[in-house]
Structure formats: structure tokens, C-alpha cells
Amino acid sequence: SMLLAYWQARTADPALLPFAERRAVAEIATPQVYDPAYDGHGNWPFNTALAGGLGLDAYVARFASLAELVPWLEAGVPLAISAAWEPGTLDNAPIPRSLGHLLVLAGCDGAGHAIVADPRGNTEAEVRRLYDAAQLERAWQDKPSGTAYVIHPRGWPVPALA
């Protein structure tokens, strides 16, 4: 939903307007991405299908490093990534550990930090976080194996996938 809200703000696409509200997760997205076979909401293809059904290009891709994501970020395409970590391995995380936590990578600050939007934040100020880029890369490359949601408007200029 964070990516859909981002693209609504960037493009003013009326189909994405409901996602500008934080309650869209519970009211719109969660019911639409329920997977009865999995009995849950963590199915990546279902999540990208929701975005695709709204007219966006949406797919799951694997990347070998955060450096491979930089061209996407420079093209204005934030990416959703899943990170898994143990206590003490991801400084500034809002929770001590996770087996898989989705967050949006919005950029890098050039000082070794990844700029993320973390949905565990209760306020807008808490959502925006800086993580040590090397720590985040390890947490992202471990169990999720560098997987990312790539979601952008059709026709948006994007880098080629390797």
C-alpha cells in the first residue's frame, strides 16, 4: 500500500487515490491479497497482482545487492523489500527481530545509510528510518534472498533487469 500511495502522489492516478489513506491496508489491500491455500496475506504474487490490477506494472524480482537497486531509486522507483534479522543485527529497527518484514527502500544517503519507509512506525516521522546499508543488505539477502516488489506505472522509464 505504501508503494501505491507513492505512485498516487506522483501520478495523481484516480485508481490509486484510496491508497493515499493509511487505512487502505486494512480496508482494501488485506482482503484482496488473502491466499486461502496459504491461509494468510504474505503471498508475493498476490500482492503484486493487486497493483497490476490497478494498472501498474508489478512483479517480483531478485537482486544481488543494494547497489543493483540504486538505478531504480534514481529513476524514482522505490522498491519493497523483505528483511529478516535477529536482535542486534539491524540498528534502529522498530522491532527486535523478524522472520520477514516488508519495508520500502526509498533511497541511500551517500553516508552508508539506506532510507526506508517502515510500516511499523506509528507516525510519519517514525515510518521514515535510516538503516545501516550493510546491515540492511545482510538482512535482505539472507532468507528473502534479495527479493523485491518492483511496482511502477506502465511506461515509466526504468532500468533493464539483468
pLDDT per residue over 30-66, tens digit each? 888 888 898 888 788 989 999 999 999 999 999 999 9
- Quick check: helix, strand or coil at residue 81? strand
83-128 pLDDT, tens digit per residue, is 999 999 999 999 999 998 999 999 999 899 999 999 888 788 889 9
List all residues 6 or more positions away from 59 whose beta carbon is below 8 Å from its beta carbon.
Answer: 48, 149, 150
Residue 158 lies in a domain: no
What pLDDT score was predicted for residue 20?
A: 87
Residue 162 lies in a domain: no
Count of domains for the chain: 1
CATH label of the domain that carries residue 23 = 3.90.70.10
Residue 160 lies in a domain: no
Domain residues for 135?
A: 2-153
CB atoms < 10 A from the CB of 46, how many? 15
Residue 38 lies in a domain: yes
